[in-house]
Amino acid sequence: MAQAIQRLHWTCLCLVFGIALHEGVLAAVTDPNIGPLITDSQDGNVLELTCTADKLSDPAANIAWHRDGPNGDLVNYAFSPDGDAATGTLKLTATTSFNVSGPGAVDKATTYACNVTRAAGNLWQAVVTGDPTPRALRLEPSRDQLYYGDTLILACPNYGSQPDPDTLPADPLTVPSPQVEWQLNYDFSNPWNGSLPAGASVEAGQLIITNLGDSHVGSYTCQSTNVYSSKYASFPVGGLMVAPTTTAAPTTPSSGVAVNNTGAIVGGVIGGIIAAIILGALAYFGYQHFNKSQTARISFQPSQSDEEGKLNSN
């Protein structure tokens, strides 16, 4: 019975895979905690795909890259294990690479699937090389309402290159990673010119608008371009409101400043008193010295009677 159910499972999976591939969309079987998660990087004509499955607890778990779906032919890949299944921290990584342009380039409809086998059931994720699939989303501010003066940050992640796997549906991933540009109010009937209002700039594919105002209201379109084509996604900006006012606490001098001023005043008073005491002491001792010297002079002067006695004796 179990074998029959297993055969039925794989038959249904193959049928779904065949139908999905025929329609150009390949469904994935993933786990939010384990993955697998595919990331990509491109160097010239070569595209590198890295697949990671994390938090595995099956010591027999394995990971591999296949062409044309999770049950297709194996392709060359580098394998790297890490962690320990006994503690549920086993991490498996598989990396493969191929040409997406130039000599030996793969067809744009080629499907690469990362398949994770384990006792609890297989998990897999797929990549369809071809047109970029951008999605415009807001990173900041996190609240729904936009206020005048906000700093607005818009991102344009693509399947296969999203910074956070939770920001986009898991499938289909599309690679290689494209170049991202932004323009305000692109009407698709005129050539792309990348025009942006004052206060708006693009950094690492993200649109950053500082001091949000009426001049920034409109629809921002991101153009995502890879070796195959350009695709677009838009994000509307409007409905700006004045931010709620907050009652600010009254501004008072800090205690440190008050202490410093008080210390200066007290120090000045004490210094004045000390100076007065010193001057008084100097004056007193000077006066005493003067009196003594005057007394000495008087005591050593001969009296009139003495002088008269000297004259009479002569």
- Domain with residue 180: its CATH number is 2.60.40.10
Please tell me the total count of domains within the chain: 2
What domain range is 170 assigned to? 137-237
Residue where a domain terminates, one of 176, 204, 237: 237
Same structural domain, 118 and 167: no
Q: Which amino acid is at 306?
A: D
Same structural domain, 156 and 122: no
Same structural domain, 143 and 182: yes
Q: Which amino acid is at 42?
A: Q
Residue 7 placed within a domain: no
**Rounded to an integer, what distance in angstroms lies between the CA atom of residue 127 and that of residue 104?**
18
Tally of CB atoms within 10 A around 39: 18
Same structural domain, 125 and 145: no
Same structural domain, 181 and 142: yes
Tell me which residue has tokens 């897999």: 124
> CA torsion sign, 215 to 203 to 224 to 94?
negative
Residue 274 placed within a domain: no
| Full 3-state SS string of 140-179 | ECCCCCCECCCCEEEECCECCCCCCHHHCCCCCEEECCCE
pLDDT in tens, the chain (314 residues): 333 333 333 333 333 333 233 333 456 788 988 999 888 887 888 889 999 999 999 999 999 999 988 989 999 999 999 999 999 999 999 999 998 878 888 888 888 999 999 999 999 988 877 778 788 889 999 899 999 999 999 998 876 555 554 555 544 555 566 889 999 999 989 999 999 999 999 998 999 999 999 999 999 999 998 877 888 999 999 999 999 987 655 555 444 444 344 454 555 556 667 766 776 666 665 555 555 555 444 444 444 444 444 444 44
Q: Which helix (H) or strand (E) holds 225?
A: strand 218-225
Residue 246 placed within a domain: no
Per DSSP, 198 falls in state T
- Cβ proximity of 220 and 212 under 8 Å: no
Residue 76 placed within a domain: yes
Same structural domain, 231 and 157: yes
- Cβ proximity of 67 and 112 under 8 Å: yes
Same structural domain, 30 and 124: yes
Q: Are strands 152-155 and 200-203 parallel, antiparallel or unpaired?
A: unpaired
Same structural domain, 143 and 205: yes
Residue 55, Ramachandran bin (φ over 0: left; ψ between -120 and 50: alpha; else beta): left
Question: Sheet harboring 230-237: ordered strands across?
Answer: 179-184, 218-225, 230-237
Residue 23 placed within a domain: yes
Residue 312 placed within a domain: no
Same structural domain, 59 and 110: yes
Residue 302 placed within a domain: no
Quote the pLDDT of residue 255: 45
Residue where a domain terminates, one of 237, 256, 275: 237
Residue 94 placed within a domain: yes
Same structural domain, 188 and 208: yes
Number of H-type helices and E-type strands within the chain: 3, 16
- Cis peptide bond prior to 244, omega within 30° of 0: no
Same structural domain, 72 and 168: no
- Looking at the DSSP assignment, which residues form a beta bridge with residue 175? 129
Same structural domain, 98 and 37: yes
